[in-house]
Amino acid sequence: MLWWKEAKLGLFIHWGVYAIPGGEWSGNQEKHPFLGAEWMMAYRKIPVAEYRKLAQQFHPAKFDAGSWVLAAKNAGMKYIVLTAKHHDGFALFDSAVSDFDVVDATPFKRDIVKELAEACQKHGMKLGLYYSQAQDWTHRGGAVSSFVKPWDESHAGNFDEYVDQVAVPQVKEILGKYGPIAVIWWDTPQDMTPEIAAKFQTALTAQPGIIQNSRLINSTPGDFRVFEGDVPVGGVPGTPWEVCVMMNGSWGYSRVHHEWASSTKLIRQLIHTASLGGNYLLNVGPDADGAFPPEAVERLAQIGDWMRANGEAIYGTSGFPMKKLWQQGRITQKPGKLFACVFLWPSDGKLTIPVLAGVKSVVLLAQPDKPLPFTMDDAGIVVEVGRGMPDPRATVLVLEIEGKATAAGFLPALDADVSGAFDLLAAYAVPVGADPSKPAVIVGKREGTSPPLTGDPAEGFKLGGFATPQERAAWRIRVPKAGQYRVVAYAGLNKGMPGDATIQVHAAGQTLQKVLPVTGDSQTFRPLEIGTLSFDAPGEHEVAVSLDLKGAATSGGQIWRVQLLPQSPSK
Ligand code: FHN
């Protein structure tokens, strides 16, 4: 799977008859709190017979497989994974064992998988197919997720019969009829037993060299592990892994999900993923006409633009293990080279890259002929990068090195952003005052989809587990000049928590405190004005945060981020 490890970036395509309603059913536009529009049949409990009728309206006049492949290629993507069949059971290929497929059930009658496979062959793109092996809501006996529960009489059928008569034969079809298939992407392994999984494994022998993800059955790792939405903290050392990401809060096309992540955020997520050694599979949900939504087209074009200039820092690289995430950027590596991808440019033009290495030269990737002056000390490599960030999405520095590079033992203090503010995110905090054997302050995965508020790739994490006000999470910042900062914290408090629970912010010998209002649950974060902090002198300072939950459950209160906003902008 060398090609896959080097590829780093792929396009996920979720498409089916669910693109026709796009999350809206009989005028009801209400979104599900966490399921995308491709799940609408299940969360609105649409009867099978009624849902199947959607196929009669499936006539995507704008579908052109070649233009999909070229959009992926121009975005710098090296592989595509298409939903050959999602949980609704509709197949995008001509299946002999079902009549709920694009050729038999729609007026369109064209085999989408076949056309995409041909276009991929023509343009040198690897093709992977997603296949929902267990969940199938329209074929008798297919599994139905336990959190929506069966809602149609046909769901009472026999799962083994479904596997033998529909799922395994369909997997054989997609692996046998369309030329080379590089990846099989299983999903939601509900009810899968080792015996059933073995039947699918046997079907894979039709494609020597095919690789599969870790979702065929819960207990097996597959060739690579997959994560959804949030990149695992620290990556998964020693294991190939991929994160799949939505652009707008839904995998399938949706008229009701408009939370489009900025292209800067997507580019930084890709870099973040590569810096931890993973692959990034970015999703698009084409509409009922077969066109990519304009917001997706724009984002793919931006990613392509960045990748054309900076692809060397992504393709074929390995992650660079750090002890702790570096908020100002991420690092990838190839033999003899480090790529420092910078998100936050230093206000004084001096960037400390927290790496210890024998550095021979430093250049901007975009200006390879102009060496940048640098010095090395215990904190890392200090590079004179000048003021003004050349590419605000992410600017890449190339460090030519001798021997092996290692992460510095500590991270440099954080610089203010271009507005002079400090955005202190959970993922970059360190616990202070906790019992080291049982850290009270944890950085954990935030559930659900983060609102795309900033471009930071690690904003999906939160701080929790504050057992006493002595347990703190802290950040080090580099204040450019004496001044005052408004402090805003984003915190969440469960219903039923004590009404006098408080949040504290400690810095420069001051402690600010505020009562925490209940937000409904600890994952619903609302901004809270905490007060004003004064820094008498420029230089490094620690900013720490704590919660006093008055002895109530530590899971009841969490913090997402703390912002220090300059009272009068300082640069
Ligand atoms: O339920 C699906 C969902 O619709 C989508 O296909 C994602 C993509 O990773 N996988 C499932 C949930 O894990």
d(CA 400, CA 333): 10
Range of lowest pLDDT (290-294, 340-344, 455-459, 515-519): 455-459
Q: Which amino acid is at 288?
A: A
Q: How far is CA 378 from CA 187, 352, 357, in A?
A: 46, 10, 10
Instruction: Work out the end-to-end distance of the chain between its first and last CA atoms, rounded to an integer number of angstroms.
Output: 48
Q: How far is the CA of 171 from the centre of ligand 1 (A)?
A: 18
pLDDT at 434: 63
Q: Residue 36: pLDDT above 90?
A: yes
Q: Whose CA is nearest to atom 5 of ligand 1?
A: 251
Q: Whose CA is nearest to atom 3 of ligand 1?
A: 251
d(CA 166, CA 103): 16
pLDDT band at 435, cuts 50/70/90? low
pLDDT at 439: 54
pLDDT band at 458, cuts 50/70/90? confident
Q: How far is the CA of 187 from the centre of ligand 1 (A)?
A: 7
Q: Residue 337: pLDDT above 60?
A: yes
pLDDT band at 448, cuts 50/70/90? very low
User: CB of 316 within 8 A of CB of 46?
Assistant: no
pLDDT at 423: 93
β-sheet bridge partners, residue 513 = 504
Nearest atom in ligand 1 to the alpha carbon of residue 12 is 8
**Cα 205 to the center of its chain, rounded Å:** 31
Mean pLDDT of the region 49-60: 98
Mean pLDDT of the region 39-65: 98
* 470 compared with 367, residue with greater pLDDT: 367
Q: Residue 571: pLDDT above 90?
A: no
Nearest atom in ligand 1 to the alpha carbon of residue 130 is 6
Q: Residue 182: pLDDT above 90?
A: yes
Q: Which residues line ligand 1 (CB under 6 A)?
A: 14, 36, 38-39, 187-188, 228, 244, 251
Q: How far is the CA of 190 from the centre of ligand 1 (A)?
A: 13
Strands 337-342 and 395-407, bridge-based pairing: antiparallel
- Portion of the chain with pLDDT greater than 90, in percent: 83
Q: How far is the CA of 461 from the centre of ligand 1 (A)?
A: 21
Q: Residue 381: pLDDT above 60?
A: yes
Q: Whose CA is nearest to atom 13 of ligand 1?
A: 188
Mean pLDDT of the region 302-319: 98
Q: Which tokens is 533 given?
A: 């902090």
Q: Tell me, what DSSP letter sits at residue 218?
A: T
Q: What is the pLDDT of residues 87-135, one digit of tens each?
A: 999 999 999 999 999 999 999 999 999 999 999 999 999 999 999 999 9
Q: Residue 213: pLDDT above 80?
A: yes
Q: Whose CA is nearest to atom 1 of ligand 1?
A: 188
Measured over the CA atoms of residue 561, residue 563, residue 235 and residue 32, the dihedral's sign is positive
Q: What is the pLDDT of residues 383-427, one digit of tens each?
A: 999 999 999 999 999 999 999 999 998 899 999 988 899 999 988
Q: How far is the CA of 170 from the centre of ligand 1 (A)?
A: 19
Q: How far is the CA of 38 from the centre of ligand 1 (A)?
A: 9
User: CB of 174 within 8 A of CB of 127?
Assistant: no
Nearest atom in ligand 1 to the alpha carbon of residue 14 is 6
pLDDT at 450: 41
Q: Residue 58: pLDDT above 80?
A: yes
Q: How far is the CA of 388 from the centre of ligand 1 (A)?
A: 41
Nearest atom in ligand 1 to the alpha carbon of residue 39 is 4
Mean pLDDT of the region 5-15: 98
